[in-house]
Structure 1
Amino acid sequence: MNRSSGITAFPTTPVGRLKLFFTFFDSRWEDLTRENWGKVVYKDFSAGLIVAMTAIPMAMGFAIAMGMRPEHGIIAGALACLVGRTFGGSKYQVYGPTAAFIPIIAAVITKYSDPATGGSFESAHAFLVFVSILSGIVLIVMGIFGVGKYAKLVPNSIIVGFTVGIAVAIALSNFKDILGLASFSDLVGTTSVGFLAKLDAARANRDMINVWAILIGILTFAITKTLLRISVYIPGPVIAMGTATLLAATVLADKKILLVKDLYGSIPSNLFKLQLPGFPDMTGALAFDIVYFVAAIVFVSGVESILCSSMADKLAKNTRTPFNPDKEFFGQGLVQIITPLVQGFPCTGALARTATSIKAGATTPLAGYFKAVLKLTMAYFLAQYLELIPMACIGGILVWVASNMIKVSEIKEIRHLGKFEFSMMVYTALMVPLTDFLTGVLSALVIYFIVRKVFVEKVMA
């Protein structure tokens, strides 16, 4: 590492990378010194507390949208942060459940928990653990052999289009909760099916709408968005959640507003439990699903973690050692192996929570450790109250997440790159909700590189 010249040299051999990967006190801790440790620890603790309070309702919402239980989101966010902060390649990145994983995990749970085909939630969860462990192994191998840098080759137009498409899918999938529908059709409750199918299910159930739930959803959205615009130090989602829960338990107690406990029962305070991998009898269709879901988890883990790490360095104005993409892949691999084994699910770098952490003063990986411990502590003591949250509140928070994923500045930036880049963004944004995540993204990548290759050959001819 040659800091005097401003150049950072990471290991270039598999053995060198492995040695770095298992070095705990590496360059990620370079901003913590004997002279400033008190100030840094205080700032990291404050950032961890802010992110922990924000992350609890978001993690529950993501888990529910995936077809998992609320406590699975809390476990996943905390444990992923502990593992990622220990083995990842970024100083600042906050790990946890992300929107990009919703369609993938929802597809696994929906398909393999169907009683009509002999499935159950337990068998679906076991299969999710299996494909997640396989994806973790793939990511570790990729990190050891220096593949991390290639994640940067995914065009920004496709990344932005993918983000917009996921945002649309999330918003549509969670309108059922905002509308207060206890049974809105399984099609609307998951992001694993097409846009048109969800619209048909919505029309079929329009007579079951609860206007009081709509009020809760809109109020949650408005409080969260307004408070976080004022300051990142105000835990908007927590205040919105508390307000919605209080209203549902008092003045709206007789309005038949669906609560978390109505669907999931009590949330246990004893969160951790071993979940072993498993899968049905091997068939051609199952083999295809294994390849499909492993590829999807690897793609999201790799691209989103590199994107988040790069964003974090820019936002923190990091002028010292940048993030290491290969170590990030290695850390992501361990996250995907360890987290699902204790009732979690696949996680990656969370853009919004990382940005919040940096804005709140985070400087070292300590902020991630504080976030994980504080999140688990609060969840333990608040478990009996979390089950009283209205489902419309969860929907409102997720729609707020979806609205934050669509950034006008990024769309304008793609537009300035030319018609081809803009058309690829639009294509990806449409294909993701109309088909499925991997079909939309992979078809966009194939079209992008074929067209670019033909264009380059034509120019050179």
Structure 2
Amino acid sequence: MNRQHFPTTPLGRIKLFFTLFDSRWEDLTKANWVTTVYRDFSAGLIVAMTAIPMAMGFAMAMGMRPENGIIAGALACVIGRTFGGSKYQVYGPTAAFIPVIAALFAKYGPANGGAFETAHGFLIFVSIISGVILIVMGIFGFGRYAKLVPNSIIVGFTVGIAVAIALTNMEDILGIESFADLLGQDEDIKGGLFHNLSAVFRNLDKINLWSIFLGVLTFAVTKGLLRISIFIPGPVIAMGLATVLSSTLLADKGIILVKDIYGSIPNNFFVLTRPSLPILTTGVIVDIFYFVGAIVFVSGVESILCSSMADKLANNQKTPFNPDKEFFGQGMVQILTPLVQGFPCTGALARTATSIKAGAQTPLAGYFKAIIKLSMAYFLAHYLELIPMACIGGILVWVASNMIKPSEIKEIKHAGKFEFAMMVYTAVMVPVTDFLTGVLSALIIYFSVKYIYRKRGQSQVSLREQS
């Protein structure tokens, strides 16, 4: 089925959006349902085991609590699989949202004299607005426009976010910020690029070598095991190994654990959280536009990229993903997930690829992933508190390293000097300034230059015709 067979009117799209059993389920038949369900369950199990440490790490890097990541990943997958436009996509916390949500919590949360509840309430508020905008965009057929974002800028902002993630998790591996927090000191290494680098040099005397050892060990074990096979839950094994070492051989080495920073991890996951607004000022209004724009951009672009990649990776020969329905599904995710202790989520490239390689064929894989993930977290909550913060940092640095793909950079380089320059510009501006400033300025420059060159080309053709 081709793209043009999807509904082309707003009313037709709305009807399709609420058709829950649509073409995404076409591979589940009476003849193969046992095999398909088994394959989807296996894929869900593999992804769930990989997703727990990653979700916790993403949440903590954003300035939130570990359980927020667990809840967000499970709930987003259920909602996205129900209302989204892709057969295969796995929804959950993603690296692209880290600088966006971290910036909100840095400004409105405890780090700046505010309260966690205030920052979370504001995040819910902007996320709901973003969700409504995404739903409207899906209804009016804006899904196809997400594909217009140049690949050079997409690769650039991915590289930039990878650098930002690595920098914002330096304190966990080095044992700097956590150590200062426990002593009641004010040093905070989570900030901009130059702030982070200068903070490292100011705190070289506080570095814990055993913390570095655990961070590097976690990174190496995760990367090594997943190179052997995607069916090996590398992050879980690495996390278990680091936790055992920190509680036995390294118990007296000053290793900071999750419970030292966040206390106990509750297993009463689903608690209603309401949106709220700080005192309305000009700055808050500007921030509303900023964060809404950032959430809409990340949701739209990353979900379309992930869906497109999933169809190619799965060699989908039947109905392709529907970009408009994907926008609608993203909108539902951004409205509902934060209301239950979660935060904005989108399609996760690495987890989607893992799910497909593990045999996923229908949205059932996403439902299984959510159920297994919550069940494991419920019974393991006490043990998750014992994970070293250095282990979380190692997992996130592994995530960051996977985001930088040499093949994509080479492809951009072969596309021309201008495309390569735009990739480099975006990659530098995202960590140096902020996510939205870097991407929007890159888009403005890109399309301005393209417009000027197109006009110049038309003028030259006109002059040749006149002569």
TM-score by length of 2: 0.96
Contact 1:82 1:368 in 2 (8 A): yes
Give the equivalent residue in structure 1 for 2:200. 202
Query: For the residues of structure 2 that align with 1:7 and 1:175, how far apart are their CA atoms?
Result: 45
| CA displacement, residues 101-130 of structure 1 (integer Å, 9 cap, x when unaligned) | 00110011110114765x211101100000
Gap change, CA 1:360 and 1:8, over 3 Å in 2 = farther
| CA displacement, residues 307-338 of structure 1 (integer Å, 9 cap, x when unaligned) | 00000000000011000000000000000000
Q: Name the amino acid aligned to 1:346.
A: P
Shift of 1:194: 2.1
Q: Name the amino acid aligned to 2:234.
A: G
Structure 1 segment 49-198 matched on structure 2, within 5 A: 49-114=45-110, 119-181=114-176, 182-183=178-179, 187-189=188-190, 193-198=191-196
Q: Aligned residues, how many? A: 453
User: Is residue 27 of structure 1 aligned with residue 28 of structure 2?
Assistant: no
Shift of 1:270: 1.1
Shift of 1:146: 0.5
Shift of 1:187: 4.3
SS of 1:35's partner is coil
Q: Name the amino acid aligned to 2:206.
A: M
| CA displacement, residues 364-423 of structure 1 (integer Å, 9 cap, x when unaligned) | 000000000000000000000000000000000000000000000000000000000000
Contact 1:187 1:197 in 2 (8 A): no
Gap change, CA 1:83 and 1:395, over 3 Å in 2 = same
Give the equivalent residue in structure 2 for 1:381. 379
Q: Which residue of 388, 391, 395 maps to 1:390?
A: 388
Contact 1:47 1:357 in 2 (8 A): yes
Identity rate, percent: 74
Structure 1 segment 355-366 matched on structure 2, within 5 A: 355-366=353-364
Give the equivalent residue in structure 2 for 1:289. 287
Contact 1:93 1:350 in 2 (8 A): yes
Structure 1 segment 242-391 matched on structure 2, within 5 A: 242-391=240-389
Q: Name the amino acid aligned to 1:220.
A: T
Query: For the residues of structure 1 that align with 2:433 and 2:9, how far apart are their CA atoms?
Result: 40
Query: For the residues of structure 1 that align with 2:445 and 2:143, how far apart are their CA atoms?
Result: 23
Contact 1:48 1:357 in 2 (8 A): yes
SS of 1:266's partner is coil
Q: Name the amino acid aligned to 1:296.
A: A
Gap change, CA 1:233 and 1:329, over 3 Å in 2 = same
Query: For the residues of structure 1 that align with 2:204 and 2:90, how far apart are their CA atoms?
Result: 39
Structure 2, unpaired ranges of 5+: 181-185, 460-467
Query: For the residues of structure 2 that align with 1:377 and 1:166, how far apart are their CA atoms?
Result: 31
Give the equivalent residue in structure 2 for 1:423. 421
Q: Name the amino acid aligned to 1:85.
A: R
Give the equivalent residue in structure 1 for 2:6. 10
Query: For the residues of structure 1 that align with 2:73 and 2:226, how far apart are their CA atoms?
Result: 21
Q: Name the amino acid aligned to 1:188.
A: I
SS of 1:251's partner is coil
Query: For the residues of structure 2 that align with 1:62 and 1:372, how far apart are their CA atoms?
Result: 17
User: Is residue 409 of structure 1 aligned with residue 407 of structure 2?
Assistant: yes
Structure 1, unpaired ranges of 5+: none
Q: Name the amino acid aligned to 2:351.
A: R
TM-score by length of 1: 0.97
Shift of 1:188: 2.2
SS of 1:393's partner is helix
Query: For the residues of structure 2 that align with 1:13 and 1:206, how far apart are their CA atoms?
Result: 61
Contact 2:179 2:256 in 1 (8 A): no
Give the equivalent residue in structure 2 for 1:36. 32
| CA displacement, residues 22-63 of structure 1 (integer Å, 9 cap, x when unaligned) | 001100001111101000000000000000000000000000
Contact 1:8 1:321 in 2 (8 A): no
Query: For the residues of structure 2 that align with 1:282 and 1:34, how far apart are their CA atoms?
Result: 57
Q: Name the amino acid aligned to 2:319.
A: T
